[in-house]
Amino acid sequence: MSACKEIEILKRKELFSSPPKVDAAFWKDALDYSLGKIKSNIAVFGDRCPGPTSVNGVYPLIPNTDWTSSFWPGMFFLAWEHTEDELYRRAGEGRVAGFRERLDKRIETETHDLGFLYTLSCVAPWRLFGNAAARETALMAADLLLLRRHEKAGVIQAWGNLDDPRQRGRIIIDCAMNLPLLYWASEETGKPHYREAAARHINTANAHIIRENWSTCHTYFFDAETGKPLRGNTAQGYSDDSCWARGQAWGIYGNALSYRYLRDPDLLEKARGLARYFLNRLPKDLIAYWDLIFVDGGEERDSSATAIAACGLLELSAALGEGDADKGPFKNAALHIMASLAKSCTTREKPESTGLLLHGVYSKPDGKGVDECTIFGDYFYMEGLTRICRGWNPYW
């Protein structure tokens, strides 16, 4: 277990002391561009799903089999919140049955990403429209997610079959974003065991995945039989001791979301430490490199990590108390980051693209989706714009 050192001082104090010099029209323009792209993609994508990343800026179309299938319907629900256009509601709710079928047939469901999948596809339409079939499906997904728990270690296994020797007892930082499905299930059913499992997972993960210096390792192995913590390593980062940018971003946002449900101040401190580490390693234009070991050029950026971190910072800033010295700077940092994404990363410069944000990286070590649009980056960019333009009650 790593005992964290004191959190480092937030750099760029002056920049983050005020919001970026952009007006409401700037944000509206960024939002309108995104809404236009979503609308035109409805016909292009039809009833298929965009793949996790584009190829030369254009998403391949795949069936509902990936961990990323829910980001596209998630964008419909955000678009509906802005426009109340029935087109988006129909498109979003029209996918609920397909997500139910995926669960019933157990199509690629041996993953902790049931949280990403069923929060955006099913919890969202339940919250927005009271869609009962979506509620039932999301509760089934929460039950299935709980079956991935290793009781002794108190953690939810990330990938693969629970008996797969390569994956058994392995957690990943991304799982912090899958826990809101469990918190929601407790709220819906009045049964505490979902929430208790999520709380135990986040606290155990934090104790081992967050390093002494407030960077994170991507994945961590436990002995499933004894619960003994074993070792950390990376899957998508540069090295076992570097800090994968999207993992750090998931950690910021995931801890802030767990705080929303658990109200444990330690989660806010975890989010704060991870956030300062992330912000202090951004280059001048505030678009993160794909691994935070890189700070000054020669490597690809990851616009998705950057957009996720911005959403996490907005959630975190809102949770911090009025007198908290990071409250203003974290919000301003998120706004600067979002403005930088809007100015320098959108597909306006590549009109043939079906994505919103260029310059994402899915997995550099695997050569997957390097310097491409990512459907999760697009979703979180749209979520960030939604938070900025109208305020937002999270689906998470």
Binding residues vs ligand GLY (CB under 6 A)? 174, 236, 246, 362
> Between residues 54 and 332, which has the closer beta carbon with respect to ligand GLY?
54
> Between residues 259 and 362, which has the closer beta carbon with respect to ligand GLY?
362
Do residues 76 and 371 lie in contact, with contact meaning Cβ atoms separated by under 8 Å?
no
> Between residues 289 and 362, which has the closer beta carbon with respect to ligand GLY?
362
Q: Which residues are catalytic?
A: 113, 174
Phi, psi torsion values for 157, nearest 5 degrees? -70, 140
- Beta-ladder partners of 58: 55
- Return left, alpha or beta for 300; rule: phi > 0 is left, psi -120 to 50 is alpha, else beta: beta
> Between residues 169 and 247, which has the closer beta carbon with respect to ligand GLY?
247
Do residues 145 and 156 lie in contact, with contact meaning Cβ atoms separated by under 8 Å?
yes
> Between residues 69 and 236, which has the closer beta carbon with respect to ligand GLY?
236
Phi, psi torsion values for 150, nearest 5 degrees? -100, 110
The tokens for 242 are 């570097």
In the complex, the smallest distance separating the C-beta of residue 84 from ligand GLY, rounded to whole angstroms, is: 31
> Between residues 332 and 374, which has the closer beta carbon with respect to ligand GLY?
374
Strand ranges, E, within the chain: 49-50, 61-62, 149-150, 155-156, 170-172, 219-222, 229-233, 360-363, 368-372
Q: Which residues contact 273 (CB under 8 A, 6 or more apart)?
A: 4, 7, 210, 214
Q: Is 361 helix (H, G, I), strand (E, B) or coil?
A: strand
In the complex, the smallest distance separating the C-beta of residue 52 from ligand GLY, rounded to whole angstroms, is: 8
What residue is closest to ligand GLY based on CB?
A: 174
In the complex, the smallest distance separating the C-beta of residue 174 from ligand GLY, rounded to whole angstroms, is: 4
In the complex, the smallest distance separating the C-beta of residue 132 from ligand GLY, rounded to whole angstroms, is: 29
In the complex, the smallest distance separating the C-beta of residue 220 from ligand GLY, rounded to whole angstroms, is: 15
Q: Is 49 helix (H, G, I), strand (E, B) or coil?
A: strand
Question: Which residue bears the tokens 């469901």?
Answer: 109
- Beta-ladder partners of 216: 210
CA angle, residues 159, 312, 76, in degrees to nearest 5: 75
